[in-house]
């Protein structure tokens, strides 16, 4: 299986690659548009700041390519946020795959939301064999609101989208690559789509 991990100025690309290698997959970490287009599956990782990430993928042409992809795509963390319409983080216009906006958590508790939290109301094949209320690892200060395409919900300060799906686009706010056996199962499920 030919898996492309999109390379741009984001922080967790290395750990996503290592997690896939633990599952026996050696992904292509690439910013080459043709390689991304022809991959069986595409992972769009990300740790960092939204506006500089958007600027980076606009310059490389990846921003224009992503909406055209027809194979399964998995956005992780900032990857999820960049797949939304707009982000409050430095007022960034994002890719608009998911018709929702990304907001900063209100300061009613510690921000970033950091650590292990539960995912509930799990829907679809991405969560096959994952227990309801399983714990996964989060690190983020911005969130996507609940919407019709929400396929997992987490509660921190308020309920938000821990995962979303629209057609071939999947996205998770948590880090499956750092979420122990639960995270491995979710990655395996994505690879099996």
Partner 1 sequence: MLAKRIIPCLDIRDGQTVKGVNFINIRHAGDPVELGAAYAEQGADELVYLDITASVEKRRTFAGLVEKVARTLTIPFTVGGGIRNEDDVARLLDAGADKISINTAAVNNPDLVEILARRFGSQCIVVAIDTKHTETGDIVYIHGGRTPTERITRDWAMEIVDRGAGEILLTSMDHDGTKNGFALKIIRELAENLPIPVIASGGAGTRNHFLDVFNEGKADAALAASVFHFGEIPIPDLKRYLRENKIEVRL
- Positions that interact with partner 1 (CB under 8 A): 11, 14-15, 18-19, 21-22, 47-49, 107, 110-118, 135, 137, 139, 155-156, 175, 178-181, 183-184
- Residue 177 a catalytic site member: yes
With residue 59 as reference, give the H or E element that holds it. Answer: helix 50-59
The token pair that represents 63 in the structure block? 């921003």
SS3 40: coil
Q: Which residues pair with 173 in a beta bridge?
A: none
Q: Closer to partner 1 at the Cβ: 41 or 178?
A: 178
State the catalytic residue, choosing from 35, 55, 77, 84.
Answer: 77
Q: Closer to partner 1 at the Cβ: 41 or 140?
A: 140
Q: Closer to partner 1 at the Cβ: 17 or 41?
A: 17
Reduced 3-state DSSP string for 84-149: CCEECHHHEECCCCCCCEEEECCCCCCCCEEEEEECECCCCHHHCCCCCCCEEEEEECEEECCCCC
State the catalytic residue, choosing from 55, 84, 175, 184.
Answer: 175
Q: Closer to partner 1 at the Cβ: 15 or 60?
A: 15
Nearest approach in angstroms of CB 119 to partner 1 is: 12
- Residue 88 a catalytic site member: no
- Residue 84 a catalytic site member: no
Nearest approach in angstroms of CB 21 to partner 1 is: 7
State the catalytic residue, choosing from 84, 94, 113, 177.
Answer: 177
With beta carbons less than 8 A apart as the criterion, state whether 68 and 33 touch: no
Q: Alpha carbon of 187 to those of 3, 36, 49, 110, 184: distances in Å? A: 12, 18, 24, 28, 5
Nearest approach in angstroms of CB 167 to partner 1 is: 30
Which sequence positions are flagged as catalytic?
Answer: 77, 175, 177
């Amino acid at each position: 299986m030919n898996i492309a991990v999109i390379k741009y100025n984001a922080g967790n690309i290395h750990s996503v690659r290592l997690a896939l290698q633990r599952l026996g997959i050696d992904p292509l970490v690439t910013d080459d548009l043709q390689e991304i287009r022809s991959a069986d599956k595409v992972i769009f990782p990300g740790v960092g700041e939204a506006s500089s990430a958007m600027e980076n993928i606009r310059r490389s042409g990846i921003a224009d390519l992503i909406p055209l992809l027809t194979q399964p795509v998995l956005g992780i963390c900032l990857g999820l946020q960049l797949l939304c319409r707009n982000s409050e983080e430095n007022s960034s216009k994002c890719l608009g795959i998911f018709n929702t906006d990304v907001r900063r958590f209100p300061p009613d508790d510690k921000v970033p939301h950091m650590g292990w939290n539960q995912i509930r109301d799990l829907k679809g094949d991405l969560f096959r064999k994952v227990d309801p209320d399983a714990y996964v690892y989060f690190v983020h200060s911005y969130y996507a609101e609940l919407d019709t395409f929400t396929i997992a919900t987490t509660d921190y300060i308020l309920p938000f989208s821990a995962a979303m799906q629209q057609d071939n686009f999947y996205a998770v706010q948590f880090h499956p690559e750092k979420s122990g056996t639960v995270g491995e199962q979710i990655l395996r499920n994505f690879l099996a789509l």
